[in-house]
Structure 1
Amino acid sequence: MYRIDILTLFDETVGDVLSESILGRAQERDFLRIETHQIRDYTLNKQKQVDDYPYGGGRGAVMQADPLYQCWKHVVDTYGPGRTIYFSPAGATFRQADAKRLAADYDHLILVCGHYEGIDERFIEECVDEEISLGDFVLTGGEIPAMAVADAVSRLVPGVLPDPECFENESHWNGLLEYPQYSRPEEWHGKKVPPILLSGNHALIARWRRKQAILRTKRRRPDMYEKLDLFSTKADSKLMAELKEEYPQDF
């Protein structure tokens, strides 16, 4: 069973979000276990204080090393060592490749949610294996990144989704954005579902979807498109020739 432990000041909120829908059902079936741990429970003072003024001056407060360490140590002593991740604007930007790596290479993650002006560097040096950022922006705490990473990794754990096809055709799995999706009714506000999707010809539908995925990636994420190798197979070379003829403005 894959395990994720989250060290946070908002354990009930985070735990409730990650216990719903697909992740909740996966936990009921013992494919996955996500638990949150209230950092304040591991302080050694009556006030449950977890932060203090930064040495050297400056605004705000810094989360102290020892409450974090005691909480982290409890998780390690109880459930065994895990890959410890701290969410920080200074971390490497999280990508789908990281979700794949964390799901495949580890069976236990320990996610540390910071707050205020960050956490004491000594805890990072002693306990953290890697730092992760969601992007080039700053949040008030690490809970949103922790939930995002837990969700992205969990859905790749065997058994959480019914079939690997559920994620292998999605955006970022193979360097492409996902093709457009449609559902009933066939016509809505004067807009019709592309006829090919109603044909029942699965080979033609798969071909159309790949073309649309290439086109969407070219239009919306040219940085991703530039990294693709779309001429290594005869099938893709033919698709590219057709796309250039059908959408000359894009190619």
Structure 2
Amino acid sequence: MSTSRYLQALTNTQSIEELWDMHTRKMASYGFDRLLYGFTRYRTSNSLGDPDDFIVLTNHDPAYTDVFMGQGLYFHGPMVKWVLENEGAASWSILGEMMSQGALTESERRVLEFNRSMHVTAGYSISFKSISPRAKGAIALTAHPEMTQAEADDVWAAHGDEILVMNNICHLKIMTLPYSAPSRTLTKRQKEALEWVGDGKTTQDIALLMGLTQATVEKHLRLARESLNVETTAQAVLKAALQNQMFVIEA
């Protein structure tokens, strides 16, 4: 499939699952067979925010992600540090330079040792441009275990521009699709109640519009706040909107 046809198909996807399946297969055709995408809207000066609020997509084996993500190893990853401080694409060859210069901390060296044990040794990281200092998105493209970094660099020299464009479009498309942690997915009634709040309706108005009692509407709003882990209904409306859980046309 040509790049233009791929991009057209990518932009027409209707779900995160469809998009991710398509993108992982496309990147594998270049030799990058394991991907790890992450995005946060809640970054601060010393934190990436609540991990439960991250958008994380990956086709890595759980044996890798359970440690790298589940045990918080990512927070000490030298390439994670790079994507937080830069924009664009970087070859993992810079890790060798950091090591030779003694620029890696003990925690960062442990991350590299773990990555080597899981055959995560060659690849590229892409840091996407952000319009807010609170938001950051990035993707790590891991080359298949038999590929050296020099070979990955050769692939990038030949196809880097198109790979970068495809990943940028993929990132932008993800921003338009509904996504939330499984434990924080709103029910249809909770979404509807929040949508009416977003339209400026009172609890009494919403009860009439939904054909429910005010107490039931208040229950739906309370459960929505609990599901989204926020304190106020206004915060729930904002968070649900940011996660594309509200005002979404169902396919």
Give the structure-1-normalised TM-score: 0.27
Q: Give the TM-score normalised by structure 2.
A: 0.27
Q: Which has the higher helix share?
A: 2
Q: Which has the higher contact order (CA 8 A, sep 6+)?
A: 2
Q: Bigger radius of gyration, 1 or 2? A: 1
Which is richer in strand?
1
